[in-house]
Amino acid sequence: MQITAELVRELRDRTGAGIMDCKKALQDTGGDIDAAIDAMRKSGVAKAAKKAGRIAAEGKIVIRQDPDTREAVILEVNSETDFVARDENFTTFADKVAACILDRRPDNLESLMALQIDGLTVEEERQQLVARIGENINVRRFERLCPEGELGLYLHGGRIGVLVDIRNGNESLARDVAMHIAGNPVPPLCIREAEVPRDLIEKEREIYAAQAAESGKPPEIADRIVAGKISRFVSDVALLSQPFIKDTEQTVGNLVKALGAEVRRFIRYEVGEGLEKRSDNFAEQVMAQAKGA
């Protein structure tokens, strides 16, 4: 039987799955749409697709390091709820994906999802996990870091992870700096003040200028206020300018310099950063269910 575009569209509407998944299911079942739906439900494709639009802003940060090459991987995998992020099936999947990245070295997320784990692709494993757990699961991002110097690793509760490469440093310094990056009230955006993106500075300047204008102060005073706030902002978000979290009498830059070391690179991941958070209202859900009863 010919697999027409109309047939594919109908299956997609009924399952919420992708076009290629629908086409393959129809080809495998000789165009029998009901059999295709059954097959997709069994494999978890249809169920996973239906949940794909739901917000997944909880989850887990995973860090793994190869003891031989010293290369490290940091990975974020998201779930809809913190409860699922602690589920054994979820954590096992996240750990397997991190190990796959370290071993197979994919270039990007798309190539990662096409790699095989235990006979299934990472994407197929994800879909099966969605079907088993009943929540949307996303492999959001990953990065690899092969250090030139000492590698600092820090993982806080599975929600914040840091990798930092410190040239001419030692293990204690690298860990302290990684811990600072994870725990500082203002997460650093870059290593040095000169590296703060200009567009970010200009965005802050616009905000401060608008605040100063509303205060009614003379323009020359307002300009000085804006300049001062910009200077503080740049200092706040640059790692080396931040007061060291374990000894606020000195900056991270002074700490590193005193030991003759240099921060080469850092990566900081926090679960759900930049994502819209799910905001369920339990009382509203109960009322909705009662009305539908």
Q: Is residue 212 part of a domain?
A: no
Are 33 and 72 contained in the same domain?
Answer: no
Among 146, 175, 193, the domain boundary falls at 146
* The last residue of a domain, from among 128, 146, 164: 146
What's the CATH code of the domain at 97? 3.30.479.20
47 and 59 both lie in a single domain: no
pLDDT of residue 251: 98
Give a yes or no: residue 205 inside a domain.
Answer: no
Q: Which domain holds residue 21?
A: 5-51
Return the pLDDT at 9: 79
Residues 89 and 28 in one domain: no
Q: Examine residue 131 and state whether it is found in any structural domain, yes or no.
A: yes
Distance CA 263, CA 69 (A): 20
Same domain, 129 and 98: yes
46 lies in some domain: yes
Residue 278: which residues within 8 A CB-CB, separation 6 or more?
Answer: 54, 55, 57, 58, 80, 81
Q: What is the pLDDT along the chain (293 residues), one digit of tens a residue?
A: 678 888 887 777 666 666 787 888 888 888 888 888 777 766 665 555 555 556 678 999 999 999 999 999 999 999 999 999 999 999 999 999 999 999 999 999 999 999 999 899 999 999 999 988 888 899 999 999 999 999 999 999 999 999 999 999 999 999 999 999 999 999 999 999 999 999 999 999 999 998 888 888 888 898 999 999 999 999 999 999 999 999 999 999 999 999 999 999 999 999 999 876 654 443 444 445 444 44
Task: Tell me the whole-structure pTM to 2 decimals.
Answer: 0.76
Q: How far is the C-alpha of 156 from the C-alpha of 273, rounded, in Å? A: 15
Long-range Cβ pairs for the range 96-100 (8 Å, 24+):
96/125, 97/62, 97/122, 97/139, 98/62, 98/63, 98/64, 98/73, 98/142, 99/64
Residue 208: inside a domain: no
| Sign of the torsion formed by the C-alpha atoms of 259, 265, 269 and 275 | positive
- CA 9, CA 30: separation in Å to the nearest integer? 16
Domains contained in the chain, number? 2
Both 23 and 91 in one domain: the answer is no
Q: Quick one: 36 and 66 in the same domain? A: no
Among candidate residues 123, 237, 254, the one with its CA nearest the CA of residue 181: 237
Instruction: Name, in order, each residue with C-beta under 8 angstroms of 48's C-beta and a sequence gap of 6 or more.
Output: 126, 127, 128, 130, 131, 136
Question: Looking at 131, 146, 161, which one is the last position of a domain?
Answer: 146
CATH assignment of the domain containing 18: 1.10.8.10
Query: Residue 63: inside a domain, yes or no?
Result: yes
Residue 25 lies inside a defined structural domain of this protein: yes
Give the whole-angstrom CA distance, residue 6 versus residue 79.
Answer: 34
d(CA 102, CA 121) in angstroms, rounded, equals: 16
In a domain, 15, yes or no: yes
Helix axes 122-133, 88-104, angle to 10 degrees: 170
Distance of CA 290 to the CA centre of its chain: 37
**Sign, Cα dihedral of 251, 255, 260, 263:** negative
Are residues 21 and 87 both part of a single domain? no
